[in-house]
A and B are shown apart, each in its own frame.
Chain A
Amino acid sequence: MTRQEFLLAMDRILELPEGTLTGAESLDDLENWNSLAMVEYIALADSNNGTQLSPRQIRDGTSIDDLAKLARID
């Protein structure tokens, strides 16, 4: 999965118009970043390259870029 594909997938997860996210966004500012979105993000990382992420690791992230790094998106 490319970075662009990841950002589009996160747009869908966070119910944002396609092309909204750039990566720099703070998770605290994203209204729909909640436990349900976290589950979908975990599924996305797992589907992409089998990366298994613990919610603890994810909760340490502060931005969409952090989520991309955790999911090993180039």
Chain B
Amino acid sequence: MHAVISAIEYYLPEATVSTGDLSAEFPEWSVEKIDSKTGICERHIAGKDECSSDLAVAAAEKLFSAGVSRREEIDYVLLCTQSPDYFLPTTACLIQDRLGIATAAGALDFNLGCSGYVYGLGLAEGLISTGQAQNVLLLTAETYSKFIHPRDKSVRTIFGDAAAATLLTAVDTAQSFLGPFVYGTDGKGAPNLIVPTGGMRRSRTPETATASEDESGNLRGADNLFMDGAEIFNFTLSAVPKSVEMLLSKAGVGFDQVDLFVFHQANKYMLEHLRKRMKIPVEKFQMSLAHCGNTVSSTLPIALKHASMEGRLPPGALVMLVGFGVGYSWGAMLVRWR
């Protein structure tokens, strides 16, 4: 038995922040400048009372409405999120109940960011190939906007909220459709993309809520998301090309045999630099962030969905997925599209 991706759907919250809105708030940044650096026209932002579970349930309901699977068939729910509804209980348990998934199903959260989808597919393949599950619902959902200080343009211009639902189904075949995988972790990068408070290490206090201005004029407190863009860019330059090489070598596949490269949709500037450096032709490189921004663990399924709708994924296409970011954590894998 092996897992195949049977369907992908995603959900974006209703409210949007356009690049024009941001340019009006930060007059020193023109629409053209934000566009050229980020490649993002608008970001969707969760409502005040809208949480990751709400986005994930909406994405999953779209999947069930599409008729590719019935909720009764799901026997495992994997939720990737760093903005869960609660410390406890597990958000995936709340989602199981809200979606009407059988109580005989397994459900768990895992905490990863931009690498999360690759890890989720790895877990799903493991569950299915070992006979532990037949139909895995892999959910990715984030509301990073709730961590972001409204006067921090460094992250407000980039991140958007979203959820994606991917159905993985068991097929009785000797051939694997997902994999091989390569993974990587370097916790030394933790301070470079972090929300310092809110966990057990450091509680939120009135002091941690107080914002101060950084050298670029952005405001944030310790309760907010902090990203050292230069450090993250540097990490990406070091981790991504190596992962791609390692994966190709592990798979015994040539660079030219890959039909489509789908990288975590961090921002246009970074993606373009990686694409040029790795000499990936434009027609083999997916860019799908203009209307949703960097949605963390949902960028890869959203990009896959777009690629599929654009006719870039014919049956049998070989796709490389690469996720990288907070942790640091990264992962790369091949998908044989079915």
Contacts and interface: CB of A to CB of B under 8 A. Distances in A.
B234 A52 contact: yes
A54 B234 contact: yes
B230 A35 contact: yes
Contacts of B154: 35-36
Interface in B275-292: 276-277
A38 B277 contact: no
B233 interface: yes
A46 B269 CA distance: 14
A50 B154 CA distance: 26
Interface in A10-48: 34-36, 38-40, 42-43, 46-47
Interface in B152-172: 154
Given A47-B273, A47-B276, A42 B216 contact: no
Contact of B230 (A39, A46, A47): A39
B337 to A, nearest CB: 32
A38 B237 contact: no
Interface size class of B (residues with CB under 8 A): 10 to 19
Contact of A55 (B37, B215, B234, B273): B234
A39 B273 CA distance: 11
B314 interface: no
A43 B228 contact: no
Contacts of B231: 54-55
Contacts of A34: 215-216
B173 interface: no
A47 B276 CA distance: 9
A13 B191 CA distance: 27
A58 interface: yes
Nearest to A58: B230
A38 B230 contact: yes
Contacts of B277: 46-47
A53 interface: yes
A34 B216 CA distance: 6
Contact of B228 (A40, A46, A55): A55
B238 interface: yes
B229 interface: yes
Contact of A39 (B215, B269, B276): B269
A58 B234 CA distance: 12
Interface of B: 37, 154, 215-216, 228-231, 233-234, 237-238, 269, 273, 276-277
9 contacts: A35-B229, A36-B216, A39-B229, A39-B230, A42-B230, A43-B233, A47-B277, A52-B237, A53-B234
Interface of A: 34-36, 38-40, 42-43, 46-47, 52-55, 58
Given A39-B230, A42-B234, A55-B230, 17 more contacts: A35-B216, A35-B230, A36-B37, A36-B154, A36-B216, A39-B233, A40-B269, A42-B233, A42-B237, A43-B233, A46-B273, A47-B273, A47-B277, A52-B237, A55-B231, A55-B234, A58-B230
Ranked 10 nearest A-B pairs via Cβ: A55-B230, A38-B230, A34-B216, A39-B233, A43-B273, A35-B229, A55-B231, A39-B230, A39-B229, A35-B216
